[in-house]
Amino acid sequence: MHKGTSKPLVLLQEPFLGQAVGDVLAIGALMTEVEQASVAMAAPLLRLCNGIDNEQEISLSATSLAWRMRGPLNVLHNWALAGDLSVLPRPESVSLEDFIHFVAMARSLAETQGLPIPARLLHLLGLAMVRARLERHVGLTPTVDLPTLHATVGLSVIEIAAVCGLKLTTVRNAVSRREMVHTREEGVPLDEALDWMVQRSGFLYSHTNAVCRDRRINGRLAADWLEKCPDVVAERYVSRLRLSLWRLPSNGRRIALNAEGVRNCVMLLPGIEIESLHGLGLERLEDRSDDPAAEMHREALLLAPDESLWQCQAPNLRVLASLIERLACVKAVEATIDACGS
């Protein structure tokens, strides 16, 4: 399990890549592997520790071992599948360490006996360890504090495929197209990997991007941030357009957001002077005022016929926060000028 060993513990399993993680890591299938491994390990462990080779004792030991592993298995299963453990007590580090040793020994014993390895348990550990690495990288304290085993500096293509639910060829093709910088020794740098992964619908741990104001975001993360922003109020969700509508209470200005968007954070800004948006870092700023396809958007935003409608993308939370601040300030300035003029 340590660096320098001739055959490191391989966790993530290529045959599972591209499959739904909930199916691959179904708790029933994982528990079956735990029980099978417990049966296989009970006899050699009893002989080594106590010199016992009694069938009844072996059966009882296998049952006890499987029961002890049930707790850490459930914790890791929930966590690896992006569950929230913040309301649960932290698992004991000893039980997690025991579980890692259990899986490693089960793999070695299966290979020695020519039996199938506990592939799902290995894959579960691999996903959980990637989550722990990502959370530590962005400054979070992982609820499940797992060690890093012989990892590259960045993420490998297998790790990226696993946490995004993608086929390995998809990630390799992205590397070939230079969508991400990759080296055999260091993998893909973590920041660059996070920016790429958050644009994939299957990325399990997109919450890590929301911790850093300069990491890439999508519509879902933007909607979560706006929900907590005191300067903005959620009005309603237009399901046919997949847009969430938001209002700034200070001045009544409305904005719309692709709240279910995965690839990007796309925003609609009605009644805005384009000059007021310069220097914010917005991307793909487009005038949609006369676009026939935007007619439903105009209706949802209650726009007057002569009001402008701009579309843009906010690449990260820093830009999104600056936009909200600017929208409020611009309106305030306009109101002051109007008052002075009257």
**Separation CA 236–CA 183 (nearest Å):** 46
Query: Degrees (nearest 5) of the Cα angle 204, 126, 106?
Result: 140
Q: 215 burial class (0-12, 13-18, 19+ CB within 10 angstroms)? A: buried
**Amino acid in position 105:** M
**Separation CA 125–CA 37 (nearest Å):** 15
User: Residue 245 in contact with residue 236, Cβ under 8 Å?
Assistant: yes
For the record, the structure tokens of 283 come out as 């991307």
Per-residue pLDDT of the chain in tens (342 residues, 90 and over written 9): 444 444 556 899 999 999 999 999 999 999 999 999 988 887 777 677 665 666 766 677 778 888 989 989 998 998 899 766 555 556 666 688 889 989 998 998 888 888 889 999 999 999 999 999 999 999 988 878 777 666 668 999 999 999 999 999 999 999 999 999 999 888 999 999 999 999 999 999 999 999 999 999 999 999 999 999 998 999 888 888 889 999 998 888 889 999 888 899 999 998 888 888 888 999 999 988 888 877 888 888 888 888 888 999 999 999 999 999 988 876 444 443 343 343
**Separation CA 197–CA 216 (nearest Å):** 9
- Spatial CB neighbours of 260, under 8 Å, sequence gap ≥ 6: 219, 220, 242
